[in-house]
A and B are shown apart, each in its own frame.
Chain A
Amino acid sequence: MLTAILVMVGIAVVTGLVLGWSAIRFKVEGNPLAEKIDAILPQTQCGQCGFPGCRPYAEAIAKGEADINQCPPGGEEGVKKLADLLGVEPKSLDETHGTSKPKSVAFIDEQTCIGCTLCIQACPVDAIAGAAKQMHTIIAAECTGCELCLPPCPVDCISMVPIAEDLPHWKWKHPVIEIKPVELKRVA
């Protein structure tokens, strides 16, 4: 009897130690699901979803506090990917958070810019170069097109320019197979 108890206690202690050790050794930093969701989000950091950036939105989805259809830059495709990841039914984009627009970059009209630095403070990805009372300019390659620089500009000198299709970014279109309509013979 005593031996049996001792053996059981022994096993419990050993297993407990192993589990305790591996909990420390193989600790997962952060929420792996939020990480996966964040990888799908387009990283525009535009806040249209109602969260201050893509990462907080990803965490909210992971916790079940936000719906998957609140990201207009991700579009229907993004919603579909999130639905696949979370194993839920895809839904259509929630229009209250905005609509999907063609990809664009911000452009500063340098004639009008007064160098107030308000847009620099608003840019979530530090894609605006400039200093106080100096000309500001957008680093086009790093602009995500989030439009967060538009409202703070006191002189409205920032506009969004859609990215035109050029040769290096040209894509083959989905081939269209023409369907031959069958002529119906009218039966007299």
Chain B
Amino acid sequence: MSRELFKFKGGIHPPGHKAESTGRPIHPAPLPKKLVIPLRQHIGNPARPIVDVGERVLKGQLIAAADGAISTAVHASSSGIVSAIGPARVPHISGLPDECITIETDGRDEWIAHGPLDYQAMTRADLLAHLRDMGLAGLGGAVFPSAVKLDPGAAQTCPTLIINGGECEPWITCDDMLMRTQADAILQGVAIMRHLLGSSEILIGIEDNKPEAIAAMQAATAKTDFAVETVSLPTRYPGGGAKQMIETLTGKQVPSGKLSTDIGIQVFNVGTAYALARAVHHGEPLISRLVTVTGHVLRAQNVEALIGTPFDTLIQLAGDRDGTTGVLMGGPMMGLPIPDTSVPVVKATNCILVESAELFPPPPKALPCIRCTRCADACPAELQPQELFRFAKSDDFGRAQEYHLFDCIECGCCSYVCPSHIPLVDFYRYAKSEIWARERDKRAADLARERHEFRLFRQEREKTEKAEKLAAKAQAKRAELAAAPTEAGNSGTSEADAKKALIAAALARAQAKKTETTPQNTDNLSPDTQQEIAEIETRRAKIRALARKPLESEETP
């Protein structure tokens, strides 16, 4: 069965380097002494910790719950004691710390009670809430919470479901190895996705440089009770990008600023489908993933690593070599340099690429842009990278947005083909993060303005309320006094009399208060004390009398 394929614009053909890591079977990574599990491994709100320091946790136990609509849970990857909850190093280009839960493992790897789930008997909302608590997030790299993507919303259906096995980025082979070994489980996950999304057309897109994976998936799809089509795609980077895969398979383009679901298509990575099957059919939350460890290592391979395992452990397993110049998380095109290799594997870690001067020579010095527009020819998002570069470089972010900066998928094709070796993508990332920061500042300023205006309004209101209250009180008093003399038959009192009466009444009140208040400490005294007080009082009276009597010396001047 062959299918008509379409072509997306641009793209490049970088050397694949896939064979390095597909020669060895998947190896389980050793259990580390310490697991550092970040709370922010996905897009959206970080998970909220629900365990305390010193608590013993079991493998697969929920340690941080999803917080908010776009979020997902985090689980303990092995059994042990929670030793710290707080900032720790995470795999990020900045090297900044983030909130993590650290577990000292006990080596027993003891599972929490878990079992399969009868998902077909559950309501959609219950199943989605359950998947959210299973910590599922897209394993293709974007780590968007899967439960959110699996909810088709008001439409209640998503006609086309694409399973992305493209893996177009050089060096990375974890999806390839997963498809070769776990084709049936992947399809079990696809069945659950189909159940939730109500899709009628299911396509599995795999680039043709992975013939073993295509064969394995075709063999598995032949056994399913629903229609799935495995499609072999021509190898061209970035053919595994979600938008590019949609265009290749269906000929449809996702409009700028819209989601693929707006045109009735949802895309999931094969790894996500596998994790979904493990979560539903085995009750195992997302606590491990396949990681390709490759590049400048002795035994490039794929390892099944627990979330929280340090990069170092995996690099040592693959055999570290002298002459390492750096480590990338991800591939050479889109991967980010990680300054510290003690950081843990997270849900987004698909590849640890160890660099050396021979494999990845430092880029030549950048030269000025000559506006050759090779980047525009290579851009798969149909943008004008040379213009975006000009605007980003001069901080003209408004123009950059007019040129659809946010449609850039940061694939790196433009930087790859640039004859001047300009790190174009770095400029787009810079511009994007500046625009986000400005929007944040704008929101903060709007909030401050709103609060300041409300404060001014409140102060004004309090002032008028106080004045009104005082006026009303005075009015009431006056009315009261005006009524009182009438009773005494003294009608027709003038304004001045009323005021005088008011003052007199106030004086009388003050006097009454004075006499009412008696010193509290003279009650219930013993006769002895009373005697003492009387003595003191007589002494005081004497002194007062003396003081009143003018001194003789004063009398005679």
Q: What residues on A are CB-neighbors of B426 within 8 Å? A: 172, 175
Q: Report whether A127 and B451 are in contact in the complex, using a CB–CB cutoff of 8 Å.
A: yes
Given contacts A167-B92, A177-B366, contact A172 B429 (CB under 8 A): yes
Q: Report whether B454 and A126 are in contact in the complex, using a CB–CB cutoff of 8 Å.
A: yes
A27 contacts chain B at the CB level, 8 A cutoff: no
A104 contacts chain B at the CB level, 8 A cutoff: no
Which residue numbers of B lie inside 8 Å of A, CB to CB?
40, 90, 92, 94, 96-98, 365-366, 422-423, 426-427, 429-430, 432-434, 437, 440-441, 444-449, 451-455
Q: What residues on A are CB-neighbors of B427 within 8 Å? A: 175
Q: Report whether B365 and A178 are in contact in the complex, using a CB–CB cutoff of 8 Å.
A: yes
Q: Report whether A169 and B451 are in contact in the complex, using a CB–CB cutoff of 8 Å.
A: no
Q: What residues on B are CB-neighbors of A41 within 8 Å? A: 445
**Interface-central residue, B94, B97, B423, B440, by most chain A CB under 10 Å:** B94
Q: Report whether A38 and B449 are in contact in the complex, using a CB–CB cutoff of 8 Å.
A: yes
Q: Report whether A173 and B455 are in contact in the complex, using a CB–CB cutoff of 8 Å.
A: no
Q: What residues on A are CB-neighbors of B98 within 8 Å? A: 166-167
Other A-B contacts than A54-B449, A55-B452, A177-B366, 14 sampled, CB-CB below 8 A, are: A38-B449, A42-B445, A43-B448, A45-B448, A126-B451, A142-B448, A144-B448, A166-B96, A167-B40, A170-B433, A171-B434, A172-B432, A178-B365, A179-B365
In the complex, what residue of chain B is closest to A170 when comparing beta carbons? B94
* Chain A binding surface, main DSSP class: loop
Q: What residues on A are CB-neighbors of B453 within 8 Å? A: 55
Q: Report whether A175 and B430 are in contact in the complex, using a CB–CB cutoff of 8 Å.
A: yes
Some 12 contacts from A to B, beta carbons below 8 A apart, are A41-B445, A44-B448, A45-B452, A125-B451, A142-B448, A144-B444, A170-B433, A171-B433, A173-B430, A175-B426, A175-B427, A178-B365
Q: How far is the CB of A140 from chain B (nearest CB, A)?
A: 11
Q: What residues on A are CB-neighbors of B447 within 8 Å? A: 142
Complex Cα distance A45/B432, Å?
28
A115 contacts chain B at the CB level, 8 A cutoff: no
Complex Cα distance A158/B546, Å?
56
Q: What residues on B are CB-neighbors of A171 within 8 Å? A: 430, 433-434, 437
A72 contacts chain B at the CB level, 8 A cutoff: no
Complex Cα distance A64/B167, Å?
61
A174 contacts chain B at the CB level, 8 A cutoff: yes
Q: What residues on B are CB-neighbors of A169 within 8 Å? A: 437, 440
Number of A positions contacting B (CB below 8 A): 30
Q: What residues on B are CB-neighbors of A38 within 8 Å? A: 449
Complex Cα distance A166/B40, Å?
13
Q: What residues on B are CB-neighbors of A133 within 8 Å? A: none
In the complex, what residue of chain B is closest to A53 when comparing beta carbons? B452
Q: Which of A19-65 touch B at CB < 8 Å?
A: 38, 41-45, 53-55
A185 contacts chain B at the CB level, 8 A cutoff: no
Q: Which of A156-188 touch B at CB < 8 Å?
A: 165-175, 177-180
Q: How far is the CB of B407 from chain A (nearest CB, A)?
A: 18
Q: Report whether B96 and A125 are in contact in the complex, using a CB–CB cutoff of 8 Å.
A: no
Q: How far is the CB of B206 from chain A (nearest CB, A)?
A: 33
Q: Which of A54, A174, A177, A178 is close to B430, meaning CB atoms less than 8 Å apart?
A: A174
In the complex, what residue of chain B is closest to A146 when comparing beta carbons? B448
Q: How far is the CB of A71 from chain B (nearest CB, A)?
A: 12
Complex Cα distance A3/B366, Å?
80
Given contacts A43-B446, A171-B437, contact A125 B452 (CB under 8 A): yes
